[in-house]
Amino acid sequence: MAAGLLLRVVGLCFWLVLSFRGSSVAVSATAVAPAPAPGTGCDAVMVDARAAVAETDEAFVCATLDWWPPEKCDYGTCAWGLAGLLNLDLSSKILLNAVKAFSPIKLRLGGSLQDFLVYGTGSTGEPCLPFTKNTSAMFGFTQGCLPMHRWDELNAFFHKSGAQIIFGLNALNGRVPMPDGSLGGPWDYTNADSFIRYTVEKGYDMYGWELGNELGGTGVGARIDADQYSADVITLNQIVDKAYQGSKPQVIAPGSFFDAAWFTEFVGKTKPNQVDVITHHIYNLGPGVDTHLIDKILDPSYLDGEASTFSSLQGILKSAGTSAVAWVGEAGGAYNSGHHLVTDAFVFSFWFLDQLGMSAKYDTKSYCRQTLVGGNYGLLNTTTFEPNPDYYSALLWHRLMGTKVLSTTFNGTNKIRAYTHCARDSEGITLLLINLSGNSTNHIYVTSEGAHEDMHPYSSKEHRSFRRIPKLSEAAKLTREEYHLTPKDGNLQSQHMLLNGNVLATDANGGIPKLEPVQVEGTQPITVGPYSIVFAHIPSFYATACR
């Protein structure tokens, strides 16, 4: 096809593939698209292949485990069962296989009760007793204790599963009430120090130590001002330095809801290297009892609202001159244990994957989902450990989306959310497409920018914009892998996810199913059905950023 003809049909949909071979660059249209079906539209995703806009950790996906006892109830529903860390059945084959499937996944141990947890190392001189229900206490429970034999059992499981562990320490020991309503006084680290030393002596591998849970900014239940918190984190850094010889775990804080002024002060007083990771929490959908959760999840304007938090924190870190990086330390979407058949159902993958894609664009290094198991927002069922839909969404992200994030724009409806990363452990790119509409099927072509015109041996001044057009027989050899996710029976509140039309479920031995793609000819658009999610791995897209 002559370039002149292509200029006349440039308004049509076609898929552009970047091919980078050594010192040459070729941008080629695999084919002029066949006419789309009536009423389905003709849309394109533009991927900037020139440079990554951000980069995540290799183990970007993270999940939490919490301390809640079975008596934890919200709105008359007790959704935690035996999922708390003191009660969790560590012998479950499904649980072990679910964690191992990531190889690795970060697990953050913490939550509201971590600031009321002491460690049974003998340093307190008190008996090691579990949490007890007490409606007059903050969060409804008395102080609890982690016996060291349970810590040993947990670490045996973590070692076997290959998980990377972040432990949230109690930051309230030693505090006194202040006139402004906050808690002041220096952190009493005696018990925490003995626990860290016990962990080191046992040889337990820790990815990080985090101080406190939701005590920054206005706090949740209690708050500590940024000046005091900064001093306490510097103390934790010194404790970790002293306890570890050579390579040491990350020092992480504050595990709080984002408050720009508080975070700015905290980052400024711990720079350049007193803290490794700045964590914030996200429950932007409101309380789990909200009857409009699904409406919010399907509203692109509502989803966009969280971008300002990611952008603001990224700006604070850049301007402060700190080595610290940003994580989402806990995110369950809807607080107070979520909402059954929403936050543990297919529809929640729209929110969850959009959060992963959006946060990664703003240089978030890791994203911890509340929870791995527990409440109504677990990746796994609280009693059977059978994966909920979001588990498979997280696993596909982990296996397909590499660390480098590419700028991506979509020219059609705002009901399509689009994110692109360099492919993980493979050539090309992986594109994530989320269709929030239940009425439209979109046929989407991938276009690109970023070719170096002066490097292409076939380029001329007249026709540099389009380069060489391959023959159809050549184009047909270009294939991609697609993973289409839909709810069983078309029910958004289903707890069963279909991959390319097949129900995902563990086998008789608790094994996680294989996640197999369908092969699609490169001449075809990516078809995104109503209320569906598509991961498309395009190995023939050779981006400069992905070298």
Catalytic residues: 214, 330
- DSSP letters, 398-459, are HHHEEEEEE-EEE-S-TTEEEEEEEETTSSSEEEEEEE--SS--EEEEEEEE---GGG-TT-
How do 54-55 and 286-287 pair as beta strands? unpaired
Distances (CA, A) of 425 to 16, 391, 394, 401: 23, 21, 17, 9
| Structural element, H or E, at residue 535 | strand 533-538
Cβ-based neighbours of 255, under 8 Å, separated by 6 or more: 110, 168, 210, 211, 212, 213, 214, 215, 216, 279, 280, 281, 329, 330
d(CA 390, CA 345): 8
Residue type, 531: Y
Whether 59 and 164 have beta carbons less than 8 Å apart is answered as: yes
First vs last C-alpha separation in the chain: 30
Distances from the Cα of 59 to the Cαs of 48, 106, 182, 364, in angstroms?
A: 24, 7, 36, 12
> Which is nearest to 432 in space by CA: 422, 173, 84, 136?
422
CA–CA distance, 376 with 337 (Å, rounded to integer): 5
Give the residue among 365, 364, 405 at the shortest CA–CA distance from 57.
365
How many CB atoms are closer than 10 A to CB 252? 28
What is the distance between the alpha carbons of residues 34 and 524, in angstroms, rounded to a whole number? 8
Element housing 296 (H / E): helix 293-297
- What is residue 273's three-state secondary structure? coil
Residue 479 forms beta bridges with which residues?
521
Residue 66 half-sphere exposure, CB side, CA atoms within 13 Å?
31
**H-run or E-run covering 326:** strand 325-331
Phi-psi region of 185 (alpha: psi -120 to 50; beta: other; left: phi over 0): left
Distance CA 303, CA 356 (A): 12
